[in-house]
A and B are shown apart, each in its own frame.
Chain A
Amino acid sequence: MPTWLRFGVCTLVAVVFAFPLYAMVVVAFTPREAIFDGGSHLWPTTWTLGNFRNLFDTFPIGTWFANSLVVAGLTTLISVAVNLAAGFALAKLRFPGRTWVFVLVLSTLMVPAQAIMIPQFKIVSGLGLFGLFWAVILPSASTALGVFLARQFMLSIPDELLEAAKMDGCSTFGTFWRVVLPLCKPLVAVMTLLAFMGQWNDFLWPLITLRVPDLYTLPVSLRFLQGQYDADYGGLMAMALMSCLPLLVLFVLLQRYFVAGLARSGIK
């Protein structure tokens, strides 16, 4: 295929893919009245910050952002810690049943969270976590993908390094902390991004467990606003834009790590 044709096709594809995001931005800055005018609005006639102002005046936007940040932050922290530890044991320590533990962890990929949400809800309530952020954080901390990525990465760390540390009298934890972890920076970056993105964007489980507006994370708040705003897309798009902006910026800045993480989830 000649380059100009390839370029043409790619431009067309890019326009189609970028269009929804472009429309979101335009509508977020379009005055409420103009949206109901009929016809298309591919460019606002008058730019306004009114939709944003209205949002901040009416709803606890700051709280929702803080909630998302706390929930996604803590989940990421715990998730990276427990998955790194498990990955280390599965990659570098020898013990009976190792293969089967790994298979067991991977098999959880085939259990849809949606299939077990009812008992999960009962357990979370039984543990007294209902209405707390822990109800969202703890069930999503251990992920098969996280363990898998950690294990595969650590397999490539030479055993001799660990042996040497042991000779020097390092405990297993010391070896993990002082020898293995410092070599895992790219791995930790990838795991952090994937865990943070997953939790920042998660919807169904926070919808079930966080039932009061003060506890909402951003996706749940968007669902709530959908009911509040009815068809006022200006306000909705303003909130949608704000809620995905942090990740969009992060993605553009750290695309290399994101892509490496996603690609590694599929191969190797």
Chain B
Amino acid sequence: MTSTLPTTAVEAAEETPPRPPRATRGARVREAVAAWTFLSPNLLLLVVFLFVPLAWTVVLSFQRARSFGPAEWAGLENYTRLLGDGVFWRALLNTVVFTVATVPLSVLLGLGLALLLDKALPARGLFRTIVYLPIVVSTLVTSLVGLLMFDESIGILNGLLSDLGIGPVSWQTDGALAMVSVVVMTLWTRVGFAMVIYLAALQDVPEEVLEAAKVDGASPWGTVRHITVPLLRSSTLFLVVVNVIWSFQIFDIVYVMTNGGPGYATTVLVTYAYEEGFGAPRNFGYGATVGVVLFVLTLLITLVQFRVDRRVSGEEA
């Protein structure tokens, strides 16, 4: 099993053994030309809309550039400002808090539900469908429904609580509670995906191993903990990596539900970059600098996680 991430790509690419060299030189050249022709539309799009913008983001971060005005070199000005910018640090902290709250919960809840819904159960298909449904609901709908739930004055949750005689909860004016509301709606959209991945992986857990554990007198919980969960390790790694990346890139739900507020209590890196670049400041240079930070962090996190994974699998071997 390989995950979609590049560290394993080299191994994946070598799955097919090279064809014995019986093709003539001309045939090989023709095949290479055909291959590049097939690749070219894709690579062209990637270069124009991804690699050039990536390089340009780095360039912009060293420039003074507002909207479409002329850009001039600014050296490290943007980065110096970043270091002393309280809002940036707050956004970074919030992003980390959001990530720490959403990633373990998404993965654990997904695992728990997959274990519950793996074996035969009445209405199992219906249960699965209900947990999957939020995956296909757009983040905008999720956010607006989130507002409907968490609206302080006329929202559904406070309505239900007031029926129970509990006073209005300040979901929107209390910073920590606003963060909770964003986390809850994010989990709603993500747990289904983790469950899909785990359910697929559970198909590969050999029945005999579980039977053997039972015969040896292992408790059901012990079997899950010491046999099933370790066997699902590569899925867990994949889920942790993609969930961390998604959490670091969170934008839609925060932007619509809280717009970073109250104050800067839920401002995250991308809402801050958007605000700087496309909001009133129209500061392309500074917005790009936040973008560079986002990119570097994404890269670092992925590398660290693969490092950890290598070490863990090394110990097991």
Contacts and interface: CB of A to CB of B under 8 A. Distances in A.
B159 A114 contact: no
Interface in B89-145: 113, 116-117, 121-124, 126-127, 129-142, 144-145
Contacts of B53: 116, 119-120, 123
Given A10-B117, A148-B4, A116 B197 contact: no
Contacts of B275: none
22 contacts: A3-B121, A14-B130, A20-B149, A82-B45, A85-B39, A89-B35, A99-B10, A108-B46, A109-B245, A110-B295, A119-B60, A122-B56, A139-B50, A142-B46, A155-B16, A176-B38, A240-B145, A244-B136, A255-B129, A266-B3, A267-B2, A268-B2
Contacts of A185: none
A148 B113 CA distance: 28
A103 B235 contact: no
Main secondary structure of the interface of A (DSSP, over half): helix
Interface string A24-42: 1001000000011011111
A244 B294 CA distance: 30
A115 B54 CA distance: 8
Contacts of A21: 133-134, 137, 145
Interface of A: 1, 3, 6-7, 9-11, 13-14, 17-18, 20-21, 23-24, 27, 35-36, 38-42, 81-83, 85-86, 88-91, 93-96, 98-99, 101-123, 125, 138-139, 141-142, 144-145, 147-148, 155, 159, 172-173, 176, 197, 200-201, 203-204, 208, 218-219, 222-223, 226, 231, 233, 236-237, 240, 243-244, 247-248, 250-252, 255, 258-259, 262-263, 265-268
A131 to B, nearest CB: 15
Main secondary structure of the interface of B (DSSP, over half): helix
User: Which 7 pairs of residues, A with B, have the shortest CB-CB distance?
Assistant: A40-B159, A119-B56, A201-B138, A263-B200, A95-B32, A115-B291, A89-B38
B141 A240 contact: yes
Nearest to B30: A172
A39 B162 contact: yes
Given A94-B32, A237-B144, A244-B141, 9 more contacts: A85-B41, A85-B42, A95-B35, A115-B57, A119-B54, A139-B45, A204-B251, A267-B1, A267-B201
A74 B20 CA distance: 41
A78 B278 CA distance: 28
A119 B291 CA distance: 11
Interface size bracket, B side:
35 or more
Contacts of B48: 123, 138
Contact of A263 (B15, B57, B196): B196
B191 to A, nearest CB: 8
A41 B278 contact: no
B148 interface: yes
B52 A123 contact: yes
A7 B131 contact: no
Given A13-B131, A176-B38, A24 B145 contact: yes
B63 to A, nearest CB: 11
Nearest to A201: B138
A95 B42 CA distance: 17
Contacts of A105: 42, 46
Nearest to B288: A118
A119 B52 contact: yes
B228 interface: no
Interface in B13-51: 13-16, 18-19, 28, 30-32, 34-36, 38-39, 41-43, 45-46, 48-50
A110 B288 contact: no
A236 B136 CA distance: 18
B264 interface: no
B170 interface: no
Given A23-B148, A118-B284, A248 B136 contact: yes
A40 B156 contact: yes
A23 B156 contact: yes
A259 B196 contact: yes
B6 A103 contact: yes
B42 A83 contact: yes
B142 to A, nearest CB: 8
Contacts of A41: 156, 159
Contacts of A82: 41-42, 45
A171 to B, nearest CB: 8
A42 B1 CA distance: 46
